[in-house]
Every structure is written in C-alpha cells, then in structure tokens.
C-alpha cells in the first residue's frame, strides 16, 4: 500500500502541468477534464465525517464515524487517453482499516459518442448509482439501489456516448460481475447498460438493464435486472424517481453499495423511490424522499418489506463545504420495530 502512496506523490511532484481540482466533479468513467488535449494531472477527493443516532429499544445506539474518505488522481497522457484513480480510506466501508482501490480505469475518447473505458468503475445502471457520492441529495442512497445494483463497482470494459449538452446519453458495459477486489470466478460476463433522453428542457427519462451470472463457479444460474427513471427540474424544484426490478440468482458476497449489509432476497424483488428537493437559496435546500423495497415479491406479509421516509435539509457553506441533516423514518408493515435514525454529516471536497 505504501508504494501506491509513493506513486501518487511522485506523479504530482514531477508533473509540471499539475492543476489542483476544485472538487471531485464526477466519479465515473464519463468524466473529461482536458481541454484541447493538454496533458494535466489533478488530485481530488472528499471526506464525510458523520454522526449516527439510532432510535432503538433500550439504550440509544449512536456513533461518530466516516461515511467516506476518498482521494484520487485523474488526468490525461495523450490527446485521446485519460486516466482516473481513486482510493477509499474509510474503515467503515471496507470493514477493515485497510485503504483499498475504488476506481482505476483508462479511457480512450474516439469521439463524443464513443468513449471507451477499461478498468474498475461503477456499473452503468440506475440514476441513483450514477450520481457521485459527494453529490447525493440524501446521506443514504435508496435501499433498492444499494441492495439490487450489487456489486455497484466492478472490473470491465464500457462504452459511453453523449454529454450534458446532448438529448441522448448512453452507456454499455461488459463486466466480470464479481465486484471490487475479486477475480473473475466463472466463464460468463455480465452485460449491462443505461440510456437517458431529455424529452424537454426540464424532463429527462431513462432506463437500465443487466444480464449476468452472479454466483461463483456457476455458469448456469442467471440474473436479470431492469430499471426506469425520471428527472424533473423546474427552476428551484427538483424531482427524481426510479423503479428497479430484479430476478434470478444473486450472490450476497458481492455486498451492496458503500458497505451496505446485503438483505436475503427471494426469486423476484423490486423497489422504488421518489426524491424531491427545493433550493430556497444558494445555501439552504430542504429534501424529502419516500421509498420502498420488497426483497421477495412472491412472499406475502414479508417481514423484510420496508418503507422509508427521509426528511431533512442540505446547507452549503460554499461549493466545497456542505452540511446534511436527515431523519429516516422506517415503516414496517408486518412487525413494528423501533429503528428510526437521525444522521448528520459534514462534507469537505478538495
């Protein structure tokens, strides 16, 4: 691990065109920071200290921890070749105190409609997953994205097309299906993709798909996933909604998003969320999110069925410092459990 840090430091010290990023603009392979093909290197990252208070029976559990603590380097070596490298240092995600690799990929940009990336990066599935961690409107991602889009990061090859100025954007990938820090363990590959289309200036719709074989040393049992999404932006109001359906085999060892503990799944499962935010001004942004997750559609009165409402706000000190406060009201429909949460987080980007 020391050699990785030395590499980062040497790269920064000996590149005469070093430019420091004003924050992690995006954390997926569609990023492009180079203008006119000029070689450069940028160091970036963010840390998210967080306080969790759990409303449980008996003594109220609470803890102070890091949600995420990430540092990376990105830049380009030639006119059409760029690279991206990121480490995760939070011991609360990986389960150990060891720093580990999050993303590392090389991108060849043939043109706007064919950017080819190879390495390890996020799966191109779901609007919620595609949203960079430091730009999430709520502290927690939706339960359905964390549970069903697993693994969220993987090794593979992807092609991306379009940008924020185009009505159509797409991404298609072929990936191992085993997740981070895992070698491929069967002869099959996962195929997935996502496409969005801006119908009007304010309304964007999209969809995702995935076909794969998630179980180690198993080329027979497969998995199919589908998602639909909507994004409405009207002046200060922003509404985001998504539905994900998933069926077939799954591997709990692939884990969920950002260290989420996997939930036991049935043959068919689904979930959805709706998130609304309103920018009162440049600093204050109230949020509301409703979501549900059904880990087994065929099972009636499933104790694992979950509904949740999240209310809170985001306060932006400036474009580098943000404070978030969320109250998570968990709604069980079969057995009532006291498990609401109050989360507070400070984020600093660099």
- The DSSP code sequence of 179-217 is -TT----SS--EEEEEEEEESSSSEEEEEEEEEE--STT
* Alpha carbon distance 240, 203 (integer Å): 10
The residues pairing with 101 across neighbouring beta strands, listed in sequence order, are 87
User: Residue 246 contacts by C-beta under 8 Å, 6 or more apart in sequence?
Assistant: 148, 223, 224, 225, 226, 265, 268, 269, 270
Q: How far apart are CA 94 and CA 259, in angstroms?
A: 6
pLDDT given at position 12: 38
Classify residue 196 as left (phi > 0), alpha (psi -120 to 50) or beta: beta
Distance (Å, whole) CA 20 – CA 175: 32
Residue-by-residue pLDDT tens, the chain, 350 positions = 444 444 443 433 333 333 332 233 455 554 444 444 555 889 999 999 999 999 987 777 899 999 999 999 999 988 899 999 999 999 888 666 688 899 999 999 999 999 999 999 999 999 999 999 999 999 999 999 999 998 999 999 999 999 999 999 999 999 999 888 778 888 899 999 999 999 999 999 999 999 999 998 899 999 999 999 999 999 999 999 999 999 999 988 776 677 788 889 999 999 999 999 999 999 999 999 999 999 999 998 888 899 999 999 999 999 999 999 999 999 987 878 888 999 999 999 99
β-pairing verdict for 321-331 and 306-316? antiparallel
Q: What's the full length of the chain, in residues?
A: 350
Specify the pTM: 0.87
* SS3 (DSSP) at 40: strand
């Amino acid at each position: 691990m020391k050699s990785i840090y030395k590499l980062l430091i040497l790269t920064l010290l000996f590149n005469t065109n070093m430019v420091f990023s004003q924050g992690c603009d995006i954390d997926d392979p569609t990023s492009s920071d180079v203008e006119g093909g000029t070689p450069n290197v940028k160091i970036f990252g963010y840390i998210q200290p967080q306080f969790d208070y759990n409303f449980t029976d008996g003594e109220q559990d609470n803890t102070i921890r890091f949600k995420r603590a990430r540092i990376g380097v990105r830049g380009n070596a030639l006119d059409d070749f760029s690279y991206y490298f990121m480490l995760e240092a939070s011991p609360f995600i990986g389960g150990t105190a060891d720093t580990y690799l999050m993303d590392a990929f090389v991108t060849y940009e043939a043109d706007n409609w064919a950017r080819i990336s190879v390495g390890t990066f996020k799966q191109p599935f779901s609007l919620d997953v595609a949203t960079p961690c430091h730009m999430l409107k709520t502290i927690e991602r939706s339960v359905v994205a964390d549970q069903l889009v697993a693994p969220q990061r993987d090794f593979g090859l992807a092609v991306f097309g379009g940008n924020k100025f185009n009505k159509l954007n797409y991404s298609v990938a072929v990936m191992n299906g085993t997740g981070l820090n895992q070698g491929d363990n069967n002869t099959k590959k996962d195929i997935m993709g996502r496409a969005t289309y801006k119908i009007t200036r304010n309304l964007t719709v999209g969809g995702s798909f995935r076909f794969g074989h998630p179980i180690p040393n198993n080329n027979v049992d497969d998995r199919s996933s589908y998602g639909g999404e909507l994004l409405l932006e009207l002046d200060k109001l922003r509404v985001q909604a998504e539905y994900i359906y998933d069926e077939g085999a799954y591997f709990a060892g692939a884990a969920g998003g950002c260290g989420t503990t996997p939930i036991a799944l049935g043959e068919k499962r689904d979930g959805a969320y709706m998130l609304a935010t309103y920018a009162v001004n440049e600093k204050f942004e109230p949020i509301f999110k409703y979501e549900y997750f059904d880990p087994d559609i065929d099972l009636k009165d499933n104790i694992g069925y979950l509904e949740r409402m999240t209310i809170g706000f985001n306060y932006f000190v400036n474009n580098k410092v943000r404070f978030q406060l969320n109250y998570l009201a968990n709604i069980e429909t079969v057995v009532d459990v006291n498990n609401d949460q109050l989360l507070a987080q400070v984020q600093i980007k660099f």
